[in-house]
Copies of this chain bind each other. A is one copy, B any other.
Amino acid sequence: MRVSWFNGALIEGAIGVDPADRGLTHGDGVFETILVRKGQPIWFAEHLLRLREAAIELGVACDLVIIRDAVLAILQKSNSESEVLRITLTRGVVIARSLSGEGIAPSLLVTLAPFVAMEISAFTLVTSSIRRNETSPASRMKTLSYIDNILAAREVAALADDALMLNTQAHVACTTIGNLFLLTGNQLITPQLDQGVLPGVTRAKILHLASELRLQAVEAVVQPEDLLSADAVFCCNSLRLVTAVTKVDNRDVGQRSLVELKKLISERI
């Protein structure tokens, strides 16, 4: 059985969760998944900051000192070249029978699992009928309420590697597990945050590194047809980093090389 850190202790196997914990009962919490290479969490500070910002917006207490200590404790158990660290913070138990109620004490779960990055040569997307709800602040947080992305992933699972998710205005938002970028001329374009996308840590790194590739970073409103006219389209997240998209809805997309970008990203982790 694998070891987790849960509410103050390292635990083997199942963890003792209060059956009224709002993380379990209402997807009421936030999480981060972080790549670990040779025992080192990559872009750890950035992930912690994002977690804290989301926790503040949800009204969930977030003590970064406790979280750092928990991560250090679990990283002692690191035993693979490449692993995934997950930090889960829930609102805990709410005493009053009220959706808007405050939690008594948050629950903190930290886990470490082996991560085998599959090299996918042809990453294809099919558009989901399920839209990202950009009217909700949750669309810009990595909350435990993942059901729309799960349903979108299941909708296209037999057809493509991932779902392209548009927002309620039919603009491009993201995939179910990552941000999207378009490489068009000298522009590196990604949907802006008000389009219903996560402020991805890898997304921010890429925007920051663009100038080193003599590219102009642009956050914009992206239309679905822009994907088909781009020189290249790629998906990014903190585990798989950069993955080229080859087809959208069975139509070929540009295949300009991403070698330089991938090299730059891997140098910075």
Residues in chain A within 8 A of chain B (CB atoms): 2, 4, 6, 13-20, 23-28, 31, 58-59, 84, 86, 88, 97-100, 109, 111, 113, 115, 129-131, 133, 135-138, 143-151, 153-154, 157, 168, 176-177
Contacts and interface: CB of A to CB of B under 8 A. Distances in A.
A167 B148 CA distance: 15
Nearest to A6: B19
A178 to B, nearest CB: 11
Contact of A130 (B4, B17, B135): B135
Contacts of A147: 26-28, 58, 136, 138, 143-145
Contacts of A100: 150, 153-154, 157
Contacts of A86: 25
Given A14-B16, A100-B153, A138-B151, A27 B111 contact: no
A220 to B, nearest CB: 21
Contacts of A31: 25
A229 B115 CA distance: 58
Given A24-B23, A99-B176, A136 B131 contact: yes
Contacts of A137: 130, 151
A64 B110 CA distance: 34
A214 B153 CA distance: 46
A44 to B, nearest CB: 20
Contacts of A130: 133, 135-137
A20 B16 CA distance: 13
Contact of A133 (B115, B133, B150): B133
Nearest to A155: B100
Contacts of A157: 100
A19 B15 contact: yes
Contact of A135 (B111, B129, B146): B129
Given A16-B14, A19-B4, A176-B99, A136 B151 contact: yes
A30 B157 CA distance: 21
Given A16-B14, A100-B157, A176-B99, A27 B144 contact: yes
Contact of A16 (B15, B84, B115, B151): B15
Nearest to A88: B25
A26 B84 CA distance: 16
A46 to B, nearest CB: 21
A115 B131 CA distance: 36
Given A99-B153, A130-B137, A131-B133, 15 more contacts: A2-B19, A14-B16, A15-B16, A15-B19, A16-B16, A19-B111, A20-B113, A26-B146, A26-B150, A27-B144, A58-B147, A99-B149, A133-B168, A145-B148, A168-B168
